[in-house]
Structure 1
């Protein structure tokens, strides 16, 4: 049996710093095969003295959003196990 979960990454303008290429925000949404969703967020900001390389901002914001999503998924899993086991559960990454 195979299960497919999808992750969508969206990048968006948060303020004037984005238009100047200095700030990038990312929103990651995980959708399970059953339709449940979980979200993560990440941001990156370029130092004004650094060269403008938009791909780096996208990569950093995406990685932070995915890390946030992973942390939230781990916490949700801990809560699910705790509900079954009837005691607190702490999972480590």
Structure 2
């Protein structure tokens, strides 16, 4: 039997000059919400490419979500098994 579960990830960007900030939010079907942030600062000698700053900031924010989600999964496993979980990525 196949089960399909849908979660939502939202990315929001803020830009001020060479600084780009990203907020990544994960909403899971059980109501769990995780949020992480990523920042990038363009070198003044580089050409202004808004999309590149967004990509780097988003990747950093999503990496933060990855870490949080692995930690949450580990705690959920430990709650059931009463044994330390060792999750890596």
For normalisation by structure 1, the TM-score amounts to 0.87
Alignment partner of 2:73: what SS? helix
Matched, 1:57 2:53: yes
Corresponding position of 1:78? 74
Q: Which consecutive residues of structure 1, in runs of 5 or more, have no partner in the other structure?
A: none
The CA distance in 2 between the partners of 1:45 and 1:79, in whole Å, is 34
- Look up the match of 2:22: 26
Instruction: List, as ranges, runs of 4+ consecutive aligned residues in structure 1 with deviation greater than 3 Å.
Output: none
CA distance in 2, matches of 1:60, 1:34: 29
Give ranges in structure 2 of 5+ residues lacking alignment: none
Question: 1:3 corresponds to which residue?
Answer: 5
* CA–CA separation in structure 2 for the residues paired with 1:85 and 1:2: 25
> Residue by residue, what CA displacement relative to the aligned partner does 1:65-88 show, whole Å, maximum 9, x if unpaired?
011101110011011111111122
Match of 1:89 in 2: 85
The separation in 2 between residues aligned to 1:12 and 1:79, in whole angstroms, is 32
Q: Give the paired residue count.
A: 87
Length-normalised TM-score, structure 2? 0.91
